[in-house]
Structure 1
Amino acid sequence: NWLKQSLYLDAPAYAGQPITAIVEVVRLRPEKHLVNLRGACTTTGATVCTGESLVLAQNMPETGGKE
């Protein structure tokens, strides 16, 4: 479940253009089943969008590790 998302459109992307998406897990909070994500989409060397999300992850195991 997406709880919050911000998306910034930095440059245009056109139909037929290949786009690469990269998503990074920024923070895990297993005790609350929350995951913070940061992402970016690029095409031909230009960043077309960036953003951050807060996701409620169902059935997330508690690892006891770092956040």
Structure 2
Amino acid sequence: MTEKITLTVNDMTCGHCVGTVRGALEAALPGTQVEIDLSAHKVSFTGDRTKGEDAIREAGYTPEPA
């Protein structure tokens, strides 16, 4: 089973941000399962942690350990 990674993304503040982060993760990690809790600023995904963090950064957001 693939490990689920959960990160805090405090600068993700609206539905548009959620879509941007989700799209970045899905593009970087094809087949990943993405779960986003906007109110808690949490992003969970499966796959390569480094690729996921890099994708979130490239989308303009700041991932931090949850």
Task: State TM-score, norm by structure 1.
Answer: 0.30
Q: TM-score, normalised by structure 2?
A: 0.30
Kindly name which structure, 1 or 2, has the bigger radius of gyration based on alpha carbons: 1
Which of the pair is proportionally richer in helix? 2
Hey, which of these two has a bigger chunk of strand by percent? 1
